Copies of this chain bind each other. A is one copy, B any other.
Amino acid sequence: MTAIDLAGRVLAAEAARYTAMGWMRGTSGNLSVVSGRDPLRLVVTVSGRDKGELSEQDVVLIDEHGAAVPDQPHPERVPSAEAGLHGRIAAVSGAGAVVHVHALAPVLAAERWPAGVVLREQEMLKGFGRAAHDDVVTIPVVPNSQDMRVLGEAFAAGFRPDTPALIVARHGVYVWGDDLHQARHRLECLEWLLRFAVESGFDARERRAG
């Protein structure tokens, strides 16, 4: 089994998990892990497959621009169209894994707070890598686009090393971490925080201004 196949097996299991949570409907979403840094290489899920039914074969090795590199067992496999944003996020943030899912709560929150979703005074922020107190976390929201360079620029313009997530309005959320496990934990905690924000019905800014 090649290293790519091994990464594919792990990505397939993670995708099945998110699918069961309703966060990867149809063929939506994509997951990646960094396999090399110089030059940057990521193993990313291929385009167009049911994310609950991936096999270890359903991945492809890409460069930082999201293009399949020629030197791999199956260069003909087609990476997700969003692979370019995975590459940009990994390059800018130094993350080892990037997950992009279509959970509902992030998109609902972005619809309500299109300038960014403010979170503070929440224990669950620790699971996102921030402090539970005396810390203001703003999850950036960028407009949707089909051009990964446009999304990449919008991401980079708002990037802060301490905020490992990006909501793309009317689309979904990206979360990253040192590895898939950390990215998962951050995603699960962020989704909870955004669901809380949406269900409690008001913004942390309104509530805790001062």
Contact = CB atoms under 8 A, between A and B. Distances in A.
Interface stretch (A35-43, A59-67, A104-112): A104-112
B124 A25 contact: yes
A185 B133 contact: no
Contact of A26 (B22, B108, B185): B185
Interface in A161-201: 168, 170-172, 181, 184-186, 188-189, 191-192, 195-196, 198-200
B146 A26 contact: no
A100 B202 CA distance: 26
A27 interface: yes
Contacts of A25: 124, 127, 185, 188-189, 191-192
A102 B122 CA distance: 11
- The quantity of this chain's copies bound in the complex is 4
A153 interface: no
Given A144-B121, A144-B123, A26 B168 contact: no
A108 B122 CA distance: 12
A105 to B, nearest CB: 9
A50 interface: yes
Contact of A27 (B127, B168, B171): B127
A132 interface: yes
A134 to B, nearest CB: 10
A28 interface: yes
B123 A196 contact: no
